[in-house]
A and B are shown apart, each in its own frame.
Chain A
Amino acid sequence: MTATSLATKKVKNRRPANSILSALPWIGPAILLILLVVVWPAIELIRISLTKITSAGALEGFNGIGNYKQLFENPDLRTIAIRTVIWVLTVVFLTVIISLPLAQLINQSFPGRKFVRWAMIVPWAASVVMTSIIWKWMLELTSGEFNLTLRQLGLQDGQPVDWLRDPRYSFFVLIWVAVFVSIPFTTFVILAGLQSIPHDIVEAAQVDGANSWQVYRGIKFPLLRNSLLIATIINLINVFNSFPIIWALTRGGPGYNTDTTTTFAYKMAFVEYNMGPSTALGVINFGFIMLIVLIYLRVTKATRDQA
């Protein structure tokens, strides 16, 4: 049982209602930290997006929607936006679809299950940028593990593939690495969902003669709805924000060939010093995440209200 589910049962442990003033000494520091680290940068970002700003970062007065106009005049934006949608949907879809059976698998009992779970935690615990650099090495042209394995299996003869620099493959390689680092978290969320399914429901169905697929399809899968929803939403945000993978592997290149709106905004601001349109894109990115957060808050409201 998780701590949070305990919380729902102990509502009576609370003292009667208080005013916010008596709460402030306790929750004030947390509010202050959030205002400073999250709210301030958000407001600053929006403010700058409406201001004329030089490449050195100096502000030169109100600019209306000038920065946004400049952003939308950028000929590369359309392709990058479309690629971002494909990126997020593909990575999240593959992650969830692969994690579902994996969670089921590591929920079975077999000798050494603990070690398999530990192995699956590794990509979750390890730094994403370091994992991406390891993949960069494994995808290396001549001595990388990828090409070596393909050669040994006889699947590649002649020229080895330059996975990261060949524009035909580089984007798929990024998707592969993003799915690799997203699966562990997703699998563990689904595993937690599986473990919370009461045994008696499953047993009752088995007594009634349901086979294991019917049990999964008819009982377990519907009860996993909540876990799946949460895992999907958190992944949507993480994958949309995923900067280290792309930065470590391709820098969004060649050109803007593997950029998403996240890396593109960063590149404009900190590589090309094209601050104006970058802040505009930053606000749009932020707005998109805000939207998903609102959906998340709505979706989780029912369970949170009990806590």
Chain B
Amino acid sequence: MSKQKMKFVWTPKKAATAISAYMVGLFFIYPYINMLLTSLKPHGELYSSPTKRLPQSWQFDNYIEVWSKAPIAKFLTASIVVSICATLLVLIVSVPAAYYVARNRFRGRSAFLLLVLATQMFSPTALIIGIFREVKFFGLLDTWLALIIVNAGFNLAFAVWLLSGFFASVPVEIEEAAMVDGCTRFSALRRIVLPVTLPGLVTAVIFTFVATWNEFTVALTVVSSPARQPISTGITTFVGQYDVAWEYLFTTTAIAIIPVVILFISIEKYLVGGLTAGSVK
């Protein structure tokens, strides 16, 4: 998309458009603003009457104290390790597949693409009992490894589809020239093609990372001991039977949400293309 350099001139119609757009934007971030404001309230203010939207005394200390109120550091470590490993696994598996599919015709190519596309449509939720039993079969209940493999499997499709599009856009001649100059096919891929397709790689990496970070159902089912839970299921620690420590709960969700939102915004341009797998043009 090219940036519009035209000077913007306000007319009543355009003002109405802009104002409604701002209201829509506000509507969609409002819950997260509410989260931030609540995370800065002292516990006593949560249910104070009359209710105030803004904290009366801003409790920035919540963001320090929360680390000792619950094993957040452990939750975050689990989420970071699982998300990074799942992302690496997706890259290792999807880059060769996407590259080969983009460059070659072979028997079974369409069947392979169809298989990949179908897996993108399935979420682990529908298969959760089967996943649970398989993980149990391999003795991997309550392990990060189970989360890594399952998340990698379900996010593979996005990466394969997105990357094969990027690979196909690199002229084969550049690669062949490199191979004439003595590169092996693999080093041609590494030195010539991968740098050109960097935006695609970054998108695949961020998408897989964020999807794994946010995954809930498998983590809930497979990892039961609190010490190994990732943040998506670990946050339930704050939900007591009678009292919820909302201020700490929201401090934690803020810490978990803000980084991935920034990552996601950075790949905005490519998201739709990868998710709809070449169907939207």
Measured CB to CB, the residues of A under 8 A from B are: 2-7, 10, 13-20, 22-23, 25-27, 29-31, 33-34, 36-38, 40-45, 48, 57, 102, 105-106, 108-113, 115-131, 133-135, 137-138, 142-143, 145, 148, 180, 183-185, 188-189, 191-193, 195-196, 226-227, 230, 234, 237-238, 241-244, 247, 262, 265-266, 269-270, 275, 278-279, 282, 285-286, 289, 292-293, 296-297, 299-300, 303-304, 307
Shortest CB distance B43–A (Å):
12
A19 and B17: CB pair below 8 A?
Answer: no
Given contacts A31-B112, A111-B8, A304-B113, 16 further A-B contacts (CB under 8 A): A7-B164, A13-B102, A26-B96, A30-B160, A31-B115, A33-B149, A37-B152, A38-B119, A110-B8, A119-B25, A120-B28, A184-B28, A230-B279, A244-B216, A244-B217, A304-B117
In the complex the two chains form, what is the Cα distance from A129 to B229 in whole Å?
15
Asked if A105 contacts B17 (CB within 8 A), the reply is: yes
Expressed in whole angstroms, the Cα–Cα distance for A138 and B18 within the complex equals: 27
In chain B, what residue has the closest Cβ to A223? Answer: B281
Inter-chain contact B25/A126, CB cutoff 8 Å: no
Question: Quick check: is B29 within 8 A (CB to CB) of the other chain?
Answer: yes
Residues from chain A with Cβ under 8 Å of B210 in the complex: 125
Q: A13-B103, A185-B275, A195-B1 are in contact. Are A293 and B118 (CB under 8 A)?
A: yes
Question: Would you list 15 pairs from A and B whose C-beta atoms are within 8 A, ordered by A residue?
Answer: A2-B165, A6-B168, A20-B107, A22-B106, A41-B127, A41-B134, A129-B214, A129-B233, A130-B235, A142-B47, A226-B279, A289-B126, A292-B121, A300-B277, A304-B113
On whether the beta carbons of A300 and B34 are closer than 8 Å, the reply is: no
CA distance A105 to B147 in the complex (A): 39
Kindly report which residue of chain B lies nearest to residue A126, judged by CB atoms. B257
Interface residues of B in 98-119 (CB under 8 A from A): 99-109, 112-119
Neighbour of A119 across the interface among B14, B26, B166, B260, CB < 8 A: B26
Closest residue of B by beta carbon distance from A119: B25
- Of chain B, the residue at the smallest CB distance from A227 is B280
User: Which residues on the B side are within 8 Å of A26 (C-beta)?
Assistant: 96-97, 99-100
Collect the chain B residues with CB atoms within 8 Å of residue A108's CB.
14, 17, 21
Residue of A nearest to B215 (CB): A127
Task: Kindly report which residue of chain A lies nearest to residue B94, judged by CB atoms.
Answer: A30
Smallest CB–CB gap between A71 and chain B, Å?
A: 13
A129–B158 alpha-carbon span in the complex (Å) = 22
| Chain A residue nearest to B203 in the complex (CB) | A3
Give the chain A neighbours of B17 by CB distance below 8 A.
105, 108, 110
Known: A102-B24, A143-B51. A193 touches B121 (CB 8 A): no
Are B4 and A42 in contact (CB-based, < 8 A)? no
Decide yes or no whether B129 CB sits under 8 A from chain A: yes
The listed residue with most A CB atoms (<10 A of its CB), out of B216, B220, B275, is B216
Q: How many Å lie between the Cα of A20 and that of B217 in the bound state?
A: 36
Alpha-carbon separation in the docked complex, A293 to B265 (Å):
28
Q: Kindly provide the distance from the CB of A246 to the nearest chain B CB, expressed in whole angstroms.
A: 11
Contact flags (1/0) for B22-36 with A, using CB distance below 8 Å? 101110110110110
State whether A29 touches B92 (Cβ < 8 A): yes
Evaluate contact between A125 and B130: CB separation under 8 angstroms: no
Q: B281 near A5 (CB under 8 angstroms)?
A: yes
- Which of B100, B221, B279 has the largest number of chain A CB atoms within 10 A? B279
The residues in B between 12 and 56 inclusive whose CB is less than 8 angstroms from any CB of A are: 14, 17-18, 20-22, 24-26, 28-29, 31-32, 34-35, 38, 46-49, 51, 53
Complex Cα gap A296–B117 (Å)? 10
**When A3-B166, A19-B107, A137-B246 are in contact, do A111 and B126 touch as well, CB less than 8 Å?**
no
> Of B131, B153, B253, which is within 8 A of A34 by CB?
B153
Identify A117's interface contact among B18, B89, B100, B268, CB under 8 A: B268
Q: For A192, list chain B residues within 8 Å (CB).
A: 272-273, 276, 280
- In the complex the two chains form, what is the Cα distance from A38 to B260 in whole Å? 26
Cα A221 to Cα B184 in complex, Å, equals 49
List 7 A-B pairs, minimum CB-CB distance, nearest first. Answer: A37-B153, A41-B130, A125-B264, A26-B100, A3-B165, A119-B25, A45-B130
Q: Does the CB pair B32–A126 fall under 8 Å? A: yes
Q: Is B139 an interface residue (CB 8 A)?
A: no
- How close is B58's CB to chain A, nearest CB, in angstroms? 18
Q: Does B242 contact A (CB under 8 A)?
A: no
CA distance A303 to B161 in the complex (A): 14
**Residues of A contacting B132 with CB < 8 Å?**
269-270
Distance in Å: Cβ of A303 to nearest Cβ of chain B: 5
Task: Verify A124–B256 contact, CB threshold 8 A.
Answer: no
A139 to chain B, nearest CB (A): 11
Q: CB-nearest residue of chain B relative to A245?
A: B216
Q: Are A27 and B100 in contact (CB under 8 A)?
A: yes
- Most chain B beta-carbon neighbours within 10 Å: one of A3, A102, A247: A3
Decide: A20 near B256, CB < 8 A? Known: A134-B31, A300-B279.
no
B104 pairs with A38, CB closer than 8 A? no
* B134–A128 CB distance below 8 A: no
Given known contacts A143-B51, A282-B129, is B106 in contact with A293 (CB within 8 Å)?
no
Q: Which residues of B contact A37 (CB under 8 A)?
A: 131, 149-150, 152-154
